[in-house]
């Protein structure tokens, strides 16, 4: 992960466990925001903002939730030069501040559903931290919704799970397994937690996003009731869901290689970089060809060019103080998907030399503006698709089957990756497997397409640990 500092995605802050997200890294977070936010809005959600602070008594009202988060909560006990009458928690998540507000806003079935999301920061005081994967403060979005019925809350939870799956696979090019969390891994206070689980290139699992069906648990704690059509006062059904800056860590680990980052074109701050190959003799020829390529790629679509893709996010690296070779290495390390070299020979031949970051493949593209724009757009699309396929191949090659505990333990120890194994559903077996192998149940996979209640059945097989009747075939892995 040294690459995250070298590529200037982040730097270590003077506060232990905190990081500074630098512009190149923040651009990735903006791309994640810009990809997800319209999807949330298209499914009826609106953004709002709730306070950073939660009064201790609010957090305490839900015992399980409070216990679940207490060790990680940072407290503010002084303000304005005085001790506070009541300590304020810095939000580890916002159920406890949003719930009481919803109780105030919701009176009748006419007020439902409430579909609100917020983009914000949260703080969880973690002991072991790692850039982007686990930091004291991180950025995320948290959706909090209220519904009339359990079915609506469940449908909402799965709708968002599918949005996450589609975005992470389609935009970040990371294949995921959507599934249900086991009881011991679910969110504190939730009825059910669903997640998307990814496999990193070092063979460890990573939870890439979670959706919780909260049931009526928090509604009862915060007294969120509504008068239904039948005149009865009822508790609402709720969901909450989120993804965090950890997704950036996933992109780094899934696609990166020995030379540095490899960014999928859809989120790369710069999709292509033009590196002019200078020549004293032909300086004007080269600069003319660079200007022409820049206009073709960055400008509005060429009239009559047909559908040749949107503008390319382009960087022209004409810094005279660095050699082309130095620039090649630098942009490779930063993961720019496509390098375009333009030298005197290219200019004379009416071509641009393109080099793919993901495969190193080198090819000549036509310099003619309409053709160049089309060729680069197509190439970026190909790279995007190939990255997903490569990650899927890796994931599938590193997903193993185990029937017994010995097989499970050996695979976790020697091969890592995901291990699919039958499980009886008992927390004791889950805990013992974790204790002895370091692997946790990542999820109980949903059938495709995901639907409520259905899971990959373990019927007919025996729990890898106790030999009891298996309820599910589940994914185990050592995880971040």
**Which residues of the chain form contacts with Zn ion (CB under 5 A)?**
424, 429, 463, 465-466, 468
Task: Provide, rounded to whole angstroms, the least separation between the CB of residue 422 and Zn ion.
Answer: 9
Based on CB atoms, which residue is closest to Zn ion, 97 or 408?
408
Task: Provide, rounded to whole angstroms, the least separation between the CB of residue 68 and Zn ion.
Answer: 25
Task: Compute the distance between CA of residue 192 and CA of residue 145 in angstroms, rounded to an integer.
Answer: 15
| Helix, coil or strand: residue 316 | strand
Task: Provide, rounded to whole angstroms, the least separation between the CB of residue 261 and Zn ion.
Answer: 42
CB of 391 within 8 A of CB of 373? Answer: no
Based on CB atoms, which residue is closest to Zn ion, 338 or 424?
424
Backbone angles phi, psi at 355, to 5 degrees: -130, 125
Task: Return the bridge partners of 138, or none.
Answer: 122
Task: Provide, rounded to whole angstroms, the least separation between the CB of residue 410 and Zn ion.
Answer: 18
Based on CB atoms, which residue is closest to Zn ion, 104 or 459?
459
CB of 408 within 8 A of CB of 421? Answer: yes
Task: Compute the distance between CA of residue 299 and CA of residue 20 in angstroms, rounded to an integer.
Answer: 33
Residue with tokens 């599938």: 396
Task: Compute the distance between CA of residue 173 and CA of residue 11 in angstroms, rounded to an integer.
Answer: 25
Task: Provide, rounded to whole angstroms, the least separation between the CB of residue 466 and Zn ion.
Answer: 3
Based on CB atoms, which residue is closest to Zn ion, 30 or 406?
406
Based on CB atoms, which residue is closest to Zn ion, 203 or 468?
468
Based on CB atoms, which residue is closest to Zn ion, 114 or 463?
463
Based on CB atoms, which residue is closest to Zn ion, 225 or 440?
440
Based on CB atoms, which residue is closest to Zn ion, 282 or 432?
432
Question: 217: which 2 tokens?
Answer: 């648990």
Q: How far apart are the first and last CA of the chain?
A: 13
| Helix, coil or strand: residue 462 | strand
Strands of 223-377, DSSP E: 225-227, 233-235, 237-244, 272-276, 314-316, 338-342, 351-356, 362-366
- The sheet carrying 205-215 orders its strands as 46-47, 114-123, 137-147, 237-244, 205-215, 192-199, 177-180, 440-445, 472-477, 418-423, 399-401
Task: Provide, rounded to whole angstroms, the least separation between the CB of residue 423 and Zn ion.
Answer: 6
DSSP annotation string for 423-459: E-S-HHHHHHHHHHHS-EEEEEEPPSS--SS---B-T
Alpha helices in 61-216 (DSSP H): 63-69, 95-105, 150-170
Residue with tokens 């730097």: 11
Task: Provide, rounded to whole angstroms, the least separation between the CB of residue 436 and Zn ion.
Answer: 13
Task: Provide, rounded to whole angstroms, the least separation between the CB of residue 103 and Zn ion.
Answer: 41
Closest CA to 124 of 69, 78, 206: 69
Task: Return the bridge partners of 237, or none.
Answer: 147
Task: Provide, rounded to whole angstroms, the least separation between the CB of residue 98 and Zn ion.
Answer: 38
Based on CB atoms, which residue is closest to Zn ion, 158 or 463?
463
């Amino acid at each position: 992960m040294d690459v995250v500092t070298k590529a200037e995605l982040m730097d270590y802050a003077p506060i232990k466990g905190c990081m500074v997200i630098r512009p190149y890294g923040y651009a990735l977070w903006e791309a994640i925001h810009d990809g997800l936010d319209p999807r949330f809005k298209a499914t009826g959600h609106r953004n709002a903002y709730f306070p950073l602070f939660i009064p201790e008594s609010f957090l305490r009202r839900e015992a399980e939730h409070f216990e679940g988060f207490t060790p990680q909560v940072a407290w503010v006990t002084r303000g304005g030069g005085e001790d506070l009458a009541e300590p304020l928690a810095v939000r580890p998540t916002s159920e406890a501040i949003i719930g009481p507000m919803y109780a105030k806003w919701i009176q009748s079935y006419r007020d439902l559903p409430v579909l609100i999301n917020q983009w914000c920061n949260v703080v969880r005081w973690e002991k072991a931290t790692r850039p982007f994967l686990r930091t004291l403060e991180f950025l995320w979005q948290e959706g909090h919704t209220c519904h009339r019925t359990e079915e609506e809350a469940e449908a909402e939870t799965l709708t968002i799970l599918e949005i996450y799956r589609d975005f992470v696979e389609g935009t970040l090019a990371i294949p995921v397994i959507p599934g249900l969390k086991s009881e011991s891994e679910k969110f504190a206070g939730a009825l059910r937690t669903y997640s998307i689980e990814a496999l990193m290139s070092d063979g460890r699992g990573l939870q890439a996003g979670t959706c919780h069906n909260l049931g009526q648990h928090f509604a009862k704690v915060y007294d969120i009731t509504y008068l239904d059509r039948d005149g009865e006062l009822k508790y609402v059904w709720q969901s909450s869901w989120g993804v965090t800056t950890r997704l950036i860590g996933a992109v780094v680990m899934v696609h990166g290689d020995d030379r540095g980052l490899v960014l999928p074109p859809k989120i790369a701050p710069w999709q292509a970089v033009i590196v002019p190959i200078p020549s004293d003799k032909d300086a004007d020829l080269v600069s003319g060809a660079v200007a022409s390529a820049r206009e073709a790629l960055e400008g509005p679509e060429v009239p009559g060019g047909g559908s040749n893709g949107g503008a390319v996010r382009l960087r022209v690296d004409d810094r005279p103080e660095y050699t082309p070779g130095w620039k090649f290495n630098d942009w490779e390390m930063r993961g720019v998907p496509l390098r375009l070299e333009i030298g005197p020979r290219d200019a004379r031949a009416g071509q641009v030399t393109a080099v793919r970051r993901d495969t190193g493949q080198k090819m000549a593209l036509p310099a003619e503006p309409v053709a160049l724009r089309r060729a680069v757009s197509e190439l970026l699309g190909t790279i995007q698709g190939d990255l997903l396929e490569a990650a899927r191949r890796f994931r599938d090659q590193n997903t193993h089957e185990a029937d017994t505990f010995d097989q499970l333990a050996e695979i976790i120890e020697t091969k890592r990756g995901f291990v699919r194994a039958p499980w009886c559903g008992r927390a004791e077996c889950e805990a013992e497997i974790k204790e002895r192998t370091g692997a946790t149940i990542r999820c109980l996979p949903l059938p495709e397409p995901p639907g409520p209640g259905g899971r990959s059945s373990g019927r007919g097989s025996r729990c890898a640990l106790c030999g009891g009747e298996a309820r599910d075939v589940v994914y185990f892995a050592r995880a971040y």
